């Protein structure tokens, strides 16, 4: 008779990604993981945050070991992007940050939905983390890392120091420059905002403007009751949403009232669109 895997079973099969920009440290972590958890398969290694996002979404591992400080996106920024774009049909990965932060900074991680390892990684601490992760995977106790996606995303944003929507004085007009002309776009006319590199596209029913700001800077100035974030890069004025279409896999697309394109909703925001 087969017995369920226990939380301390090192042979429990699982998959993981390691993101670390220093090759020797990445090799050392993989070797230590091999000793602490022989059943864990490292399916991808990433040398920077952007590669971590791409490889994680491609290989969809159950665990992510992310260095905090990496070229491009940081480990926190990579985690945020991965969580937002994770396939709707797959459970969110469990996240472990590897950090050189001191104990005071680590208080933030203690209160979050993730785990951490302090550099240099100690074998005993890694073994304890692996035991906890195995327990979360087999579901033998409540999993902080299994929080609903939007709550997990909120905790990642808190660790990143991202201001919450609506926490700054609200915008009434968007001032969009085009050459020597500044277009004054009333906030009521905006259908949606979309992040585009170092700019944000401002879409109205008739036209498009570019503003030199980031979506992160814009969000605190938007009323969260009126403007809903539906994707890492898209915020829509709620009254502009005509329909939410859900397919068999649970993916949601939005039909807009005054624009022809359809907008895909990230999995963590999909629960917002359900009948009353």
| N-to-C CA span, the chain | 46
Dist CA 123 CA 119 (whole Å): 11
Q: What is the pLDDT of residue 244?
A: 96
- The pair phi, psi for residue 51, each rounded to 5°, is -65, -35
Q: What is the pLDDT of residues 244-266, one digit of tens each?
A: 999 887 789 999 999 999 999 98
Intervals of CATH 2.40.50.1020 along the chain: 173-272
Those residues of the chain that have pLDDT short of 50 are 1, 104, 140-146
Q: Does domain 14-160 have CATH number 3.30.56.10?
A: no
Q: Taking a C-beta distance cutoff of 8 angstroms, is the pair 25, 32 a contact?
A: no
Three-state SS string across 131-152, please?
Answer: HHHHHHHHCCCCCHHHCCHHHH
Intervals of CATH 3.40.50.2300 along the chain: 14-160
CATH number for region 173-272: 2.40.50.1020
**CA dist 133 to 37, 139, 154, 234, Å?**
10, 10, 21, 33
What the block records as the tokens of 64 is 């992510």
Dist CA 266 CA 163 (whole Å): 20
Instruction: Report, in angstroms and rounded to the nearest whole number, the Rg of the chain calculated over CA atoms.
Output: 21
Q: What is the pLDDT of residues 182-209, one digit of tens each?
A: 999 999 999 999 998 789 999 999 999 9
Q: What is the pLDDT of residues 112-125, one digit of tens each?
A: 656 888 888 999 99
- Which residue carries 């050392």 as its tokens? 28
């Amino acid at each position: 008779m087969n017995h369920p895997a226990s939380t301390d079973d090192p042979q429990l099969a699982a998959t993981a990604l390691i993101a670390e920009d220093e090759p020797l440290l990445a090799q050392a972590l993989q070797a230590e993981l091999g000793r602490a958890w022989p059943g864990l398969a490292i399916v991808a290694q990433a040398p920077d945050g952007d590669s971590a996002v791409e490889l994680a979404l491609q290989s969809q591992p159950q665990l992510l070991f992310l260095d905090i400080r990496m070229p491009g996106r940081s480990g926190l920024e990579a985690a945020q992007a991965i969580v937002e774009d994770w396939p709707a049909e797959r459970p969110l990965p469990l996240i472990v940050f590897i950090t050189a932060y001191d104990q005071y900074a680590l208080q933030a991680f203690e209160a979050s939905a993730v785990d951490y390892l302090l550099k240099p990684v100690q074998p005993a601490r890694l073994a304890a983390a692996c035991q906890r992760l195995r327990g979360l995977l087999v579901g033998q106790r409540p999993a902080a890392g299994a929080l609903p996606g939007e709550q997990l995303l909120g905790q990642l944003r808190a660790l990143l120091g991202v201001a919450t929507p609506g926490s700054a004085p609200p915008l009434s007009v968007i001032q969009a420059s085009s050459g020597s002309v500044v277009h004054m776009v009333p906030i009521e006319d905006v259908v949606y905002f979309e992040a585009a590199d170092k700019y944000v596209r401002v879409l109205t029913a008739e036209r498009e403007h570019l503003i030199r700001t980031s979506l992160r800077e814009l969000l605190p100035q938007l009323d969260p009751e009126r403007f809903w974030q539906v994707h890492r890069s898209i915020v829509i004025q709620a009254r502009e949403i005509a329909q939410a279409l859900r397919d068999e896999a649970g993916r949601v697309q939005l039909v807009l009232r005054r624009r022809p394109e359809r907008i895909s909703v990230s999995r963590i925001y999909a629960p917002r669109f359900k009948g009353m």
